[in-house]
Amino acid sequence: MKILQTPVRFYPFIGGVENYIYYLSKELAEMGHDVQVLCANEPPSRKQEFIKGINIKRLYYPLKIANTNITPFLPFHILHEHFDVIHTHLPTPWSADWSFLASVLKKKPLVLTYHNDINACCFCSV
């Protein structure tokens, strides 16, 4: 199965979501799946590389909004990729929104993993 991961950032960026995607993708590749990651080029790395069976494409980003790298060419890349399933991640919206749209247009399944639970009542007394 060809799996397209669309996190905002990826290894070697250090973070919980990035670690989750790295280890999940590595295990999926070891199981024989074709795993590709599309992400922002942060920290600056090779634009295309192959690590532990994972094909990684790092995209240019001119700015960040609310800690989300805005990669203007992400929609183009997602729409031109061939995949069986697309896996995206929240709470950062940019890549998740484009991944959802691509899954609808290409009629491919979307897996959405939500990595954060914001407590809406954080100022309430217990």
26-42 pLDDT, tens digit each? 999 999 999 999 999 99
Query: pTM score, two decimals?
Result: 0.89
Beta pairing class for 85-90 and 68-70: unpaired
pLDDT at 118: 63
Fold held by 2-114: Rossmann fold (3.40.50)
pLDDT digits (tens, 9 = 90+) for 35-72: 999 999 999 999 999 999 999 999 999 999 988 999 99
pLDDT at 110 over 50: yes
Please state, rounded to an integer, the average pLDDT across all residues of the chain.
91
